[in-house]
Amino acid sequence: MSQPAVQLTWATWPEVCEFVPRPWFDRGVFLDDDGFPKPNKYWDLRDDSIGLIIRNQKSKEVLIARANTWISRKPNGDFRVTLEPPSDETQ
């Protein structure tokens, strides 16, 4: 059985990269205080504002996961981002 969800943190970054394959995995980013990607020239590797841009293939949604959010797979193969780990009902 595949992993139902993964939480985005620096410690789980390798798991996140495996869980969200390309072409859904667009790129890792650092986020500003409002949750928007920072331009590359403002990146600071000591920063904890980790983020991931996910491009859903079926719905064409663009999602931004930020630190401590949960990424789970929808039944149609696309992804969702939530603040809480998904329950069995939301899988």
Classify residue 91: in a domain, yes or no.
no
Most confident of 41-45, 59-63, 87-91: 59-63
Classify residue 89: in a domain, yes or no.
no
Burial of 8 (0-12, 13-18, 19+ CB in 10 A): buried
Classify residue 19: in a domain, yes or no.
yes
Cross-strand partners of 72: 5, 80
Classify residue 74: in a domain, yes or no.
yes
Classify residue 67: in a domain, yes or no.
yes
Question: What is the domain count for the chain?
Answer: 1
Classify residue 53: in a domain, yes or no.
yes
The better pLDDT of the pair 70, 45 is held by: 70
User: Per-residue pLDDT for 1 more than 70?
Assistant: no
Domain boundaries, position 44: 5-84
How do strand 70-73 and strand 25-30 relate by DSSP bridges? unpaired
The better pLDDT of the pair 6, 40 is held by: 6
66 vs 50: CA distance, rounded Å: 6
